[in-house]
Structure 1
């Protein structure tokens, strides 16, 4: 299967529409439609049913997708390595972070880190802890920050700090004893 076919199939599965896939690939919708048709001809079976102007993945597409997804992620890793070789540095770090840290702690940490590494770009995605672990295992991110350790055999967790949690209430809320909480 050609790389371009893998890309169009992957992006149509992600976006759910040819238009969305075309936007992701920075090509026109007619070009994306032709590419998807060529991919289906190459595979030899329909990958999508056209239902009310929507694309619905066939059973064959559902079987093929996990393999294509892995291949696409590996292709992305190759592209990143080429960028690294070209510039001499890793030009992008994909950070995954829980929302609470992404709004409070992460901006300051990234600002300090960015002063030491100005040549590196950072992308930040906010996810919940389990999603961070799953995404890192699939190599959809480079580093993650969460409140709990990852429970995945391919990942390692390192404590980097401790946090305090307090209960805050109105001064006149004596009807709710804190001990009940």
Structure 2
């Protein structure tokens, strides 16, 4: 089968008619019919049957669909990469960032960029780390400011800072101390991050290592939601240090956990990307902003810190 066969079969599957498939692919209906018949001749069986005016997939076609969808997704990725390569502009900066960072330190860095480059076109897209690497590899973004996750072979990483897990809560619940023992969390109703989130996984792994039973009574996907719920409910919550920068404004106290549980923050770019002046200057600004708010990173690579599986 040829790629054109797969495109036509997928278009018919989605639209249900030859005319709609032809319009979707910007082809004539006779051309779509001819390509479909060509595919069926090569395969030796019929792929669609007409039922009440629509084309319905046969059993054989249904068996082929999962593999065709994989190829179709790969074709889409190739087209997207090709478009991004053609559309590169020196006055545009496309940033993707972990939601917690997009609303705090990345926002500070972008504010400085707008002063330095008032005519630049800057976009900031909040995205979770598992999708971010794919977007960078496809050149769908120029730079990512993310919590370190599983390394991607097509993505270059630089360690910007080490965030840490913070206990937040009302001043009447969280004492004014330099650090709070992890066991403290087990003594209070806890509002925590999603267990599949980097902070959630890190917290769970640390508790397992120390044999401490800590269970969240309320869970939220975003760290800012954890902080908002902590303020509304008057309970104890767990967030990372960048999010905790806004705790005082919400009437909460933020105290580091003990033992010190660290979370790497990285700048990520595609290995094949050359990078323009905007992305290089934005990275320089991020280095300064992150060091100023979270302190300098240790002299190690981004892959060095062990992340929970």
Same fold (TM over 0.5): yes
**Structure holding more helix per residue:** 1
Q: Is the 8 A contact 2:130 2:149 kept in 1?
A: no
Tell me the residue number matched to 2:153: 153
Q: Structure with the greater relative contact order (CA < 8 A, sep ≥ 6): 1 or 2?
A: 2
Deviation at 1:83, TM superposition (A): 3.1
Question: Is 2:83 aligned against 1:75?
Answer: no
Tell me the residue number matched to 1:125: 125
Deviation at 1:114, TM superposition (A): 4.0
Query: Residues of 2 paired with 1:136 and 1:129: CA distance?
Result: 11
Question: Is 2:23 aligned against 1:35?
Answer: yes
Correspondence list, 1:162-181, <5 A? 162-173=162-173, 178-179=180-181, 180-181=183-184
Distance of aligned partners of 1:117 and 1:74 in 2 relative to their CA distance in 1, 3 Å threshold: farther
Runs of at least 5 residues in structure 2 that lack an aligned partner in the other structure: 41-46, 185-309
Tell me the residue number matched to 2:96: 96
**Structure holding more strand per residue:** 2
Runs of at least 5 residues in structure 1 that lack an aligned partner in the other structure: 19-29
Query: Residues of 1 paired with 2:174 and 2:24: CA distance?
Result: 65
SS in 2 for 1:65: helix
Query: Residues of 2 paired with 1:73 and 1:64: CA distance?
Result: 14
TM-score, scaled relative to structure 1:
0.57
Q: After superposition, what is the alpha-carbon deviation per residue over 1:116-158, rounded to whole angstroms, capped at 9, x for unaligned?
A: 4456534433222223224434544332221225412222210
Distance of aligned partners of 1:77 and 1:153 in 2 relative to their CA distance in 1, 3 Å threshold: closer
Say how many residue pairs are matched: 154
TM-score, scaled relative to structure 2:
0.37
Query: Residues of 2 paired with 1:119 and 1:80: CA distance?
Result: 21
Q: Is the 8 A contact 1:96 1:127 kept in 2?
A: yes
Structure 1 stretches of 4+ moved >6 Å: none
Tell me the residue number matched to 1:141: 141
Distance of aligned partners of 1:125 and 1:76 in 2 relative to their CA distance in 1, 3 Å threshold: same
Tell me the residue number matched to 1:27: none
